[in-house]
Amino acid sequence: MSFPIATAKLAVSGRYRLHAKNINTGRERLLADWFPNLITDNGLNLLTTVSDDWTYYYGILYTCALGSSNITPSNSDTTLKSLVASVNSINATQTINTTENYLSIVKGWTFPEGTAAGNLAEIGVGVDATNLFSRALIRDADGNPTTISVQSNEILTVTYELRILIPTGDGVSTVSGYNITLRSAGITSTYYWKGRRFVVQKGSPNDDAYVSANDMGDATTMPTFDTNRRATAFITDAYVDNSFSRTGRVQWDVTAGNITIKTIVFRFGCGQFQFSVDPPIVKTNEHELTVDVSLSWGREGEL
């Protein structure tokens, strides 16, 4: 039996902050407090095509680039307009903001003494300086584009925060005679919400996709299950550039999930989701079950 469901949606945003430190005196300067970025179309594509783990591996947040151009960023940008310097960094930290309901991934880069000296007006992060995820003009406290000056005896530190807004409302639909309620799950946990490439996910110990005879929990919890209810196959369809959506499926063979199913749980990239089915699905060892899943994403405020 095959069972399609409603599409899950994720909104993304990001912001920068820049500090300088004099290597002789130790004096620190805040060059630019938090200001927003443009996540480019290339960046939205990279969310599903590069790196399984955004917090460590060489991936979408690997390189920070600085430049001198004041040309306004556009969705089609893949590079800065006038590169001055770039550096790489690997590790990042991630937390869940439970008040505003978003996954926060924070990464920092240090430009050694003299490497970023001069006048700077633009910034970006990405796979490398020619494959940017994000671009922005540096902005002052009033939100206006500005030029900052870094001295030859200063170390420059850049901090970038990527935010994934966690959906907290329910999506309700009717599919093939079943009433479906789609809801996020485990939203306070960086195990279930983690910086990962947007693909249908098989985790360890494989509790990212399973069926349950229990009712769906609230967005902070996960329905209970046992091991023979885990999915047996995970498939992600090929991605079409600039579609900002991806489809796939989770499957249970004849040996798995043979219960009266009230809730189905799955992970698509960084997010964990659950949905209830009414009436319940009765699965036996005479049936395979295929659940079609899909995810769409975009810039915060545009979805």
pLDDT at 260 over 60: yes
Alpha carbons 75 and 39: distance in angstroms, whole number: 7
- Interval 210-228 mean pLDDT: 85
Which residue shows structure tokens 């009266």? Answer: 260
For 40-87, how does the pLDDT look when each residue is reduced to its tens digit (9 = 90+)? 999 999 999 987 788 887 889 999 999 999 999 999 999 999 999 999
pTM of the model: 0.94
Q: What is the mean pLDDT of the chain?
A: 92
Using DSSP bridges, classify how beta strands 210-212 and 233-236 pair: parallel, antiparallel or unpaired. unpaired
**Residue 235 CB neighbour total at 10 angstroms:** 14
By three-state DSSP, how is residue 46 classified?
Answer: helix
Query: For 34-43, 159-168, 190-199, 201-210, which range has the lowest pLDDT when averaged over its residues?
Result: 201-210
Residue 299, pLDDT > 80, answer: yes
Residue spans of the domains in the chain: they are 2-7+168-299, 9-165
Q: Which of 47-51, 92-96, 172-176, 299-303 has the highest mean pLDDT?
A: 92-96
When pLDDT is averaged across residues 108-137 and rounded to a whole number, the result is 97
Nearest CA-CA partner of 198 in 142, 240, 252: 240
Q: What beta strand segments (E) does 5-73 contain? A: 8-22, 28-36, 38-39, 63-67
Residue 204 pLDDT greater than 80, yes or no: no
Instruction: Check pLDDT > 70 for residue 211.
Output: yes
